[in-house]
Each structure stands twice: as structure tokens, then as C-alpha cells.
Chains A and B, each alone.
Chain A
Amino acid sequence: MTLGFVDWLIMLVYFVFVLGIGFALKRYMRTSHDFFLAGRSIPAWVCGLAFISANLGAQEVIGMGASGAKYGIITSHFYWIGAIPAMVFVGVFMMPFYYGSKARSVPEFLRMRFDEKTRAINAFSFAIMTVFSSGISMYAMALLIQTLGLFDKLMPPQYIFHVSVILSAVIVLGYIFLGGLTSAIYNEVLQFFLIVAGFAPLVWIGLRNVGGWHGIQQKLPATMTHSWRGMAHANTNSLGVEWVGLTMGLGFVLSFGYWCTDFLVVQRAMAADSEESARRVPLIAAIPKMFFPFLVILPGLIAVTVTSNMGKDLPVTATSATIAARGQVVAPKHFLGLIPEKVNPLNGEAIVDDKGKPVYNYDLAIPVMLLHYFPTGILGLGLTALLASFMSGMAGNVTAFNTVWTYDIYQSYINKRGTDAHYLWMGRMATIGGVVLSIGAAYAATRFNNIMDALQLIFSLVNAPLFATFLLGMFWKRTTGHGAFTGLLAGTFAALLHHGLTLPMGETPGLHGAWISHVHTYPSDMAQNFWTAIFAFSVNLLVTIAVSLVTRPRPESELVGLVYSLTPKPVEGHLAWYEKPSSLAIAVLVMLVALNLVFR
């Protein structure tokens, strides 16, 4: 692929700007409070955009585009069911505890509410997961640069992966080392606008080409253009999940487990300038978030619609030209629109499945759309938006890692009596350490074929039961530290057991499940994931309640500000109606229902 001078210039301006924000904010980083918590002084709308941008990593943009091409608009459930209700809940109910307790991190909140061992289990597992997540973003970005052949004319092919990894690491390290969380947040806002600016014209021109949403509906099967059709049974929709599994597994356990307890996103809200602002952050974030399917999923649908004849008796038409690995133009011979076939990188031949059918590289849905529709100039903007999404994912993980490492591991277990200047220094060292470990994780991903699947599995095993601990901790004053700790371990064990006994259809026992015994088969791996989460949550809930009932609770006086029933309700009387978190929450929920009705 060949880029023009102006494309490179746009990318260069972006990278200069990103580092410039770090340099501009360096002088404000006087205390650890400034570095890790952004001085708790950022306006709500800035934190709100950073809140969703930190989540807009590589897996999000590339993965959602791929799922849009593969499954259709039904993928939007990951936003409408799998994010918005949880964001409303964390804003309305949980943020007063996080912000009001003055905890500096989610693990620290767990120590305040429960005890040291519950904090330790969360801090260590979270720190490890952030490093791997950041490494995977780095790996995916380098792989994409290599696949698209962005640097082909600049250096020999064997160096491209290494240079991409090092370059992204140096830039992310640069702006976080200099400006800490403030720099990460302001950069995430920039990245948010860049992603919108890069993808909005792509969707507009793509829709114009395929005859709008109506054109897509005419060319694709109904299951791809309706989000609720066929959800009564797992075998009648493309996700392979029925509505109970979807709403309970994704909509409740996994979604609430992520948006309400993951420090990566909660940290952005905790940087807000007041408790009211902190409560508004997830609600403000929910508004653009619910429209993001139109930016990241719709391009996938357009990509398969351009010449698609799926489900219709139209004559077979071919694409004008599609890119395969490394930007080569290959003869058009498939019928999935712009989606290129997977090609063996060693011999350049198309990969086929066990039935002899070609395997499609859905991950390239958005990149091929950019190359197909964007001329030089705006192509640079589109690619910069793509790179920005990878970097925001990386930076979010690194800032969460340096805070948890410094406050919840270093200050708690290694050096309790350091000065504030020492912890600020340690935060900067942790930033370097986090980036170096991420590079290690990126290279580990190149060595093990299944590392991405394995990590995804570990994340779901650790995250799934977590929400039960927070839910009980915040809303049931009787919950004890022993209960929370035992419940967390039991929930993770239950998730592991469920995974070891079940298998998605068409998979062989091993990493995908049934490594203990094959007891039950799920229609898809998504259904298995959702039900694993439901089991983990339920076991954690029951065990925590049982153990709490037989252990001694903390005195109520120690739980003020940490438990709902013992904490004064937030006062909203001085706020105008449109500033009240409750008004915002209702508006968000109304819009959510409307979107589900339109695309039902």
C-alpha cells in the first residue's frame, strides 16, 4: 500500500500533538495526586470522553468491525445491552462510593470496604491483566501495520513488526511519563474526536455507495439487519445465544463486571472535579457510546454489502479489487464484499477450512473499507484514527497499571513510608516498567498461537465473579471481608469448572473447554462465555452470603460512605434539572430503548 506525502504529514502532526500534550502538562505534575489522579480536577465531559476512549482499544474497533461483517447489527448488543445499562448503574449508584470514599483506586476501595487480602487478590490480578491487555494492543497494532504494508517502502519487511512495537511503546511511554493520567485523559479526548472524524465520513460514503440502510437491508439476510430477531432460541440467530444468556450473561454479569469494577475505566471518572461530575462521567460517556455501533459496526456491514449476494438469488458479482496480505491486489473471486480471504503468510496461498471453503479475514473489514473509499489525504486521517484507537487502549492500561502498582502493591507491601515525591518517582518508573512488560507480552503473543484465546479466557474467569463482590459490598452491610475473599475464589473456581465441563459446538476439547469432561455442548463460544460468567457470578454471590452470615461483620460506624444504606444520599437540589445525574440517566435509558426499537 502506498501512502502520499499528505497522509504521512497528518500522521506526523498527530504524533507531535500527542507528545506535545505530555510536554505541556509536565509542569503540572508536582505530586503523586497530580500524576495518578489528575489532581481530581478534570471537567465531567472531558472525563466522559476519556471514559469511553480508554475502552476503544484495538480489540474494540477492529473486533467490532469484524463482528459487524460476520454477524451483522446484532453485534450492537455489545453496546446497547453490554455497556449502557452498566454505565448508567455505575454513574447513579456506585460512583458516590468510589469518589466519596476518597479511595485512589478500585483495589484500595476493596481494602476500605473489606480487608487487605481482598485488595491484594484484585490488585495483583488486575496489574497482570493490564500488562497483557496493553501488550495485545501493541501486538495487534504491529500486525496490522505489517499486514497493510504501511512501512514497506521505508524498511526491510523483517524489521516492520519490531519498529511498530517500539514506536508505539515510545510514544505512549512519552506522554504518560511526562503528564501522567491528565496527559492520558486529554490524549484520549483527542483520540475520541479523531476516531469519530476518521470513521464518520467512511460510514457516510459507504452508505451512499450501497443505497443507505435500506440498501443494506435489501442485500443482506434479515438476521444481519435486526438486533432482536431470532433471539428466542440460540439456533435462530447468528450469535448462537438466546435472550436469557444474552441479557444475564452479557447484559448483567460481564457488562456490570467490567464497567462497574474495572479500574481502567473507573479511574477516568475518579479524576473528575467533584462528586456530581464523577457521577455524570459514565452517563455523559453513555451517549456517544450508544451511537458507536454506527461508527465501528456499520462499516463491517457495508464491507459485506458492497457486492454481497448473501441470502439472495442475485447474480454473482465480484469486487473491483481487494487487498490481501501486505497490500497486494488479488483477483476478485469471493462473494463477501470487500472482506479479503485469509492468506498463508509463508506461501501466499488462500487458507481453506476442512470443507474446502475459503476462510475470510474479517479483522480487515475496517482497514479495507478505508483503502477502498478514502483517497490520499483523508486516508491519512482514517489510518491515524485506527492507530489512535490502538494507542488509547494501550495508554489506558498503562495508567491503570502504574497507579495500582504504586498505591496498591508498592506502597502497601514494599515501601509504606516513602515520601510523596518518592511515590511520584515510583509512578514514573512503573510507567516504564508497564510499557517494557507490555512489549514482552506483545512478543509472547507472537510465539504462542492461542495466547489471545487463552488470555480472553483468563480475563473472563477473573472478571466474571467480581461484580457480585462489589454488589454485596455496596448494598449489604452484613458482607464481610472473609465472605468477599472466599466468594471471589469460589466464583473463579466455578468459572473454571464450568469451562472444563462444557464445549462450544464444533470445537475440540482443550483451550475451548471440556478439558475435565465433556458434559454439555453450547451452540457457540459466546454462549459458553456468557453462561460461564453467570455461573461464576451466582457461585460468588451465594458463597459470599453464606460465609458472611457465619463471620463477624464490621461495625456500622466504619462502613459509612462505603455501604448504600449507611451513606447519606447525594444531594442534587442545587443542580439544574439537566445537570442532575438522574435526569441524564433517564434520558440515556429512553434513547437506549428507542435504538433497540428502531433496530429490533
Chain B
Amino acid sequence: MAAWGMFTRGSAIYEKSLGVNLNLTWGLLMFVFGLVMFLVGRRVRWQDDPVTPRPWERERKSRH
């Protein structure tokens, strides 16, 4: 969306959105949000894994 917004800067298609290039602004905003989520997700990777035991479960298992 952001790329499409870059290519269509100043285009007549934005008359609909009151002159606002929604593709560029919203596309960039979503990209930044996605990037933050991706980085946070990588930092706590175990949370993405639905099967691997949680850290505290691993500790419990290793104690037994």
C-alpha cells in the first residue's frame, strides 16, 4: 500500500479521500506497526510456539 501510495502521489484517485494519500500514510503506519510486532515477536519467540513447553515448564521438567 505504501509503495502504491508513493507511485500515485498527487493522483486524482485521492479526490475521494479528500485529498489525503491514504495509501501512503496508512500503509507506512501499518508497516511500522507490523515491524514493531515482528521485532517484539522475535524477542519472545517461545510465545509463538503452541507446543514447545514454556520456560517455567522446562525448568520444572529438568528438576524431576
Residue A34, interface by CB 8 Å: yes
Contact B50 A373 (CB under 8 A): no
Cα-based distance from A381 to B5 in the complex (angstroms): 13
Chain A hits for B11, CB < 8 A: 375
Chain A hits for B51, CB < 8 A: 28, 30, 34, 39, 41
Contact A378 B30 (CB under 8 A): no
Cα-based distance from A80 to B12 in the complex (angstroms): 41
Contact B47 A43 (CB under 8 A): yes
Beyond A28-B50, A39-B50, A378-B26, is A209–B1 a contact (Cβ under 8 Å)? Answer: no
Residue A205, interface by CB 8 Å: yes
Contact B18 A205 (CB under 8 A): yes
Interface of A is mostly: helix
Which of B5, B26, B49, B50 is A201 in contact with, Cβ under 8 Å?
Answer: B26
A352-388 CB mask vs B (1 if < 8 Å, else 0) is 0000000000000000000011111110010000000
Contact B5 A197 (CB under 8 A): no
CB distance from B12 to the nearest CB of A (A): 9
Chain B hits for A374, CB < 8 A: 16-17, 22
Which of B4, B18, B20, B54 is A377 in contact with, Cβ under 8 Å?
Answer: B4
Contact A375 B50 (CB under 8 A): no
Which residues 1-31 in B have Cβ within 8 Å of A in the complex? 1, 4-5, 8, 11, 13-14, 16-18, 20, 22-23, 26-27, 30
CB distance from B32 to the nearest CB of A (A): 12
Cα-based distance from A57 to B32 in the complex (angstroms): 28
Which of B13, B27, B30, B50 is A42 in contact with, Cβ under 8 Å?
Answer: B50
Contact B22 A25 (CB under 8 A): no
Question: Which residue of the partner chain B has the closest CB to A25?
Answer: B50
Chain B hits for A39, CB < 8 A: 50-51
Cα-based distance from A331 to B52 in the complex (angstroms): 61
Residue A10, interface by CB 8 Å: yes
> Size class of B's contact patch?
20 to 34
Contact A375 B13 (CB under 8 A): yes
Cα-based distance from A474 to B22 in the complex (angstroms): 51
Cα-based distance from A25 to B48 in the complex (angstroms): 11
Cα-based distance from A592 to B51 in the complex (angstroms): 36
Cα-based distance from A87 to B18 in the complex (angstroms): 39
Contact B16 A377 (CB under 8 A): no
CB distance from B5 to the nearest CB of A (A): 7
CB distance from B54 to the nearest CB of A (A): 7
CB distance from B22 to the nearest CB of A (A): 5
Contact A375 B23 (CB under 8 A): yes
Which residues 40-64 in B have Cβ within 8 Å of A in the complex? 47, 49-51, 54
Question: Which residue of the partner chain B has the closest CB to A6?
Answer: B4
Chain B hits for A178, CB < 8 A: none
Contact A197 B30 (CB under 8 A): yes
Question: Which residue of the partner chain B has the closest CB to A378?
Answer: B22
Cα-based distance from A152 to B8 in the complex (angstroms): 26
Cα-based distance from A375 to B54 in the complex (angstroms): 45
Question: Which residue of the partner chain A has the closest CB to B15?
Answer: A375
Contact B47 A373 (CB under 8 A): no
Contact B26 A41 (CB under 8 A): no
Contact A182 B22 (CB under 8 A): no
Contact A375 B17 (CB under 8 A): yes
CB distance from B64 to the nearest CB of A (A): 19
Residue A554, interface by CB 8 Å: no
Chain B hits for A197, CB < 8 A: 26, 30
Chain A hits for B8, CB < 8 A: 375, 377
Cα-based distance from A375 to B17 in the complex (angstroms): 7
Most buried by A among B1, B13, B51: B51
Cα-based distance from A30 to B50 in the complex (angstroms): 12
Which residues 1-51 in A have Cβ within 8 Å of B in the complex? 6, 10, 25, 28, 30, 34, 38-39, 41-43
A residues lining the B interface (CB < 8 Å): 6, 10, 25, 28, 30, 34, 38-39, 41-43, 182, 197, 201, 205, 208-209, 273, 372-378, 381
A205-B22, A208-B18 known; 19 other A-B pairs, CB under 8 Å?
A: A10-B1, A28-B50, A28-B51, A30-B51, A41-B50, A42-B50, A43-B47, A182-B50, A197-B26, A201-B26, A205-B17, A205-B20, A373-B16, A375-B8, A375-B16, A377-B1, A378-B1, A378-B23, A378-B26
Subset of 24 A-B contacts with CB under 8 Å: A6-B4, A10-B1, A38-B50, A39-B50, A41-B50, A182-B50, A197-B26, A205-B17, A205-B22, A208-B20, A373-B17, A373-B18, A374-B16, A375-B11, A375-B17, A375-B23, A376-B4, A376-B13, A377-B1, A377-B4, A378-B17, A378-B26, A378-B27, A381-B1
